[in-house]
Amino acid sequence: MLPSEISPPSATAGVPSRKETGSPEFSIVHGWSETVCVWTGTNASPSSNTMLIPAEILAKPAALTDAEFALIKLHPEQAYDILKGIDFPWPVADIVLQHHERLDGSGYPNGLKGGEIMLEARIIAVADVVEAMASHRPYRPAKGINAAMSEIARNKGKLYDPEVVDACLAVFAQGFTFS
């Protein structure tokens, strides 16, 4: 099965899905491997695997409690458990497991740092942040692309991979938009 043939579960209740998450333009800008380009270009959004989290939490029109956020933070592990038994030509389950890890170790679920985080997961992490900030959420209006670009630029090298951030910024500077 090709990555483009993979149909993940429906997107999170009340949260728009972006097939552009992990856009291949990010990886093509820097000439990364074909595997990275193909994986990051699929529409298998890691955050689509929040299906085991109660819909009332996902669609809650107010700030989450600590307990609710703890449930949200389980989605990378839940997605990993779903994907680990599928025979992909790439380590998809591991990539999805790591997509909320941050370079400084402040991410989740395992507090990985720097080079411990797979390149593909670092690409998805930046794409996921940009898409999330640019999109409406039940608990807040969209913050917009400018706020998303500021976030990744401000945290370049701290939370987000510098090369990935540079590629993302370059893609948007060249006119890329979510459609």
44-72 pLDDT per residue, tens: 444 445 667 888 888 898 888 999 999 99
Task: Give me the pLDDT at residue 32, please.
Answer: 54
Task: Give me the pLDDT at residue 49, please.
Answer: 52
| Nearest CA among 75, 1, 76 for reference residue 38 | 1
Number of separate helices (H) and strands (E) present in the chain: 9, 0
Asked if residues 42 and 1 have their Cβ atoms less than 8 Å apart, the reply is: no
Asked if residues 26 and 129 have their Cβ atoms less than 8 Å apart, the reply is: no
Task: Give me the pLDDT at residue 101, please.
Answer: 98
What distance in Å separates the CA atoms of residue 165 and residue 123, rounded to the nearest whole number? Answer: 8
Asked if residues 138 and 55 have their Cβ atoms less than 8 Å apart, the reply is: no
Superfamily grouping for domain 10-173: Hypothetical protein af1432 (1.10.3210.10)
Q: Where are the domains of the chain?
A: 10-173
Task: Give me the pLDDT at residue 129, please.
Answer: 94
Does residue 99 have a pLDDT over 60? yes
pLDDT band at 138 (very low <50, low <70, confident <90, very high): confident
